[in-house]
Structures are given as structure tokens and as C-alpha cells.
Amino acid sequence: MTRRSALRATSASEVPLTQAETIEWLLNRSQRTNRTVPIRRAFVQDTEDGPILRQKPGPLRQLMRHERALDLLLLVYAVTSGGDFSVTERAETWGRASGLSFATDGSASATVSRQWRKLDDLRLIERSFEGRFLRVTKLLEDGTGKPYTRPTGSETTRKDVYFQLPFQYWEDGFHDRLKMPAKAVMLIGMSLRKAKFPIVPEAYERWYGMSQATLRRGVDQLLEAQMLDEVDEEHFITGETPTGRGTRTLYAFRPPYHLNVNKTDRESGGNGKSGEEPVATSSSAKTIFSQPAPAFPWTAPSVSTDGLRPGG
């Protein structure tokens, strides 16, 4: 063997794509002309059938300790835009896209399979193998295991209310820069479909299964990443302060993440009521909502409802 042949440069075809290149390729394959991903609100907050409206956390709550599974699911939602809402790719492709594995020796399948299994167990996807390729079919976002259908956006049918995640989430690198608390708060905030909205800790625990500690970290991360801004404040009536009045911060997404606004807010120019958020019921309401103050100046509880330890 000559020295020249021994030092032969590696062929371009032998160098794996980067994570960013893989994601860009997947997104371009989706052929979504508006470059946004529709996601039903039921993914973050579902409702129970019956004469009385009952709200409960959606499947997102079960993914709070499985960030890479969420990353894969959001990419599946983006890529599967028509037909039978399935996508068939090599395990190596998903390994690179999720940042879990850049191996080309066949080991990527085992690395990624745990994430697919979690999504399968939550009945958010179905899996089948086609030789060395994995076929992933997305199911209804509420975790019922029902076949996926395009949401209509009907305001009268809560199961069909959806929000949109722009492709720029990946193009700005937020899939990598943000941690799981911020990703969860981002999805929940977008699902509210308000021009500006309060973040009420007690409501988020009850509606989304998110602890106050996790919520605090998520909002702080979004503010630091400049995806979210503190834009206003609103006053409300509460029995937990000496005056019977409380004040709380209103938040808003920066462009292009501000695209989820309902009809009422669009027509009022964002000056309508903040929406469905209830008044504070905790004895700490005065501390939480006092102004001016940091985003979340309360003491975290010792027990987390989403399984994450406070401060972890």
C-alpha cells in the first residue's frame, strides 16, 4: 500500500449528515407550503366526554421525562402531511435527527427504539418494519389510538382545535437549545391561542400535570431564549389578598411563534380577556403575582406532579 492510498480522503458519501442537515431534509420532504405543523390541543390538554366539560392533561404530561421521544414525535408530525400519515425511514435517519446516534454500523436502531416504544405505548404512533426501514404512522394526538385525521379547526368541537408549530422552531435550533420544561411550556402556551396570556401555576398543575418548579424553569428558559416576552399585566379579583385584588404578568410569543391567535383576539387586536385561566386559589397568590418581580418568585413545592424533582 502506498502512502498516498493510505492517506486517501474519506469519500463524501461515507460522512453522515449532521443533525441539522437531516432535519432540514426531513422538513423539506413534508412539502408543507405554509411551513407549519398542526397539532391538536388535545396533545397538551384533553377533555372527557359528558354533559359537563372536564379537562385533563394530555399525553404531553407522560413525555416530561422523555425529551427525545417528544423530539421524534414532533418531527413525525411535521413530515407526515398526507396520504396515510406515515413515514418510512432508516433508523440511522431518526438517530441523527434526534441527536441520539450518528452510528452507521446498525446500532442506531437499538438506540432509537426505546423512544419509539414510549410513543407506541402512549398510542401516539404505530410501528411496522419494512426490511431495514421503520414505518411510523401517526395516530390522533389525544392518545386514544384512533387513526389520525386532519383537524378542522372548528371552535365548536374541542377535539379539533389545533395550534401550529412553525418550521423555524427547528431552523432556529430551538429543538436543541431548549430543554424539556421550555418545550412543554412552549407547546402549552401555543395551544392557548391567545395574543397574550397569564401563566397561573395552580391551573397548570391541574390542567397539564406540570409542577410549579418545572413551569418556572420552562418560562425562564423561553424568556432567556427570547421566544417569549413579558408584555403586560392584568388585574383580577381574588379572596387570597388583603385587598381582594391581584396582579399578574401577561406573556406573548415573539414572531414567528405568535401565529396562534383565535378569532376573538384577532378581532379585538389582542385586547380581549385573557381567556380560560382561572383566578389564583393559592395562599401564595400575593407573592406569585406581585409586580415588579422575576418571572416566578415563589418557593417550589417538595413534590412534583410530573415526576421531576424540583430544581432537577
Burial classification of residue 310, based on how many CB atoms lie within 10 Å of its CB (0-12 exposed, 13-18 middle, 19 or more buried)? middle
Burial classification of residue 173, based on how many CB atoms lie within 10 Å of its CB (0-12 exposed, 13-18 middle, 19 or more buried)? middle
Q: Which of 220, 248, 253 is nearest to 236 (CA)?
A: 248
Residues 6+ apart with CB under 8 A from 151: 38, 40, 160, 161, 162
SS3 at position 158: helix
pLDDT at 3: 42
Q: What is the pLDDT of residues 136-155, one digit of tens each?
A: 999 999 999 999 999 987 66
Give residue 130's identity as a one-letter amino acid code: E
Q: In which element (H, E) is residue 164 found?
A: strand 162-166
Residues 6+ apart with CB under 8 A from 49: none
- Residue 159 pLDDT > 70, yes or no? yes
- Residue 180 pLDDT > 60, yes or no? yes
Bridging pattern class, strands 228-237 and 54-57: unpaired
- Residue 210 pLDDT > 50, yes or no? yes
Q: What is the pLDDT of residues 243-285, one digit of tens each?
A: 888 889 999 999 999 999 887 777 666 665 544 433 333 333 3
Report which of residues 200 and 306 the model is more confident about. 200
Decide if 265 contacts 305 (C-beta within 8 A).
no
Q: What is the pLDDT of residues 92-136, one digit of tens each?
A: 999 999 998 888 887 878 889 999 999 999 999 999 988 789 999
Report which of residues 98 and 312 the model is more confident about. 98
- In whole angstroms, give the CA distance from residue 152 to residue 160: 6
Q: Where are the domains of the chain?
A: 9-177, 178-312
CA 167: distance to chain centroid? Answer: 13
Would you say the pTM of this structure is higher than 0.85?
A: no
Decide if 311 contacts 213 (C-beta within 8 A).
yes
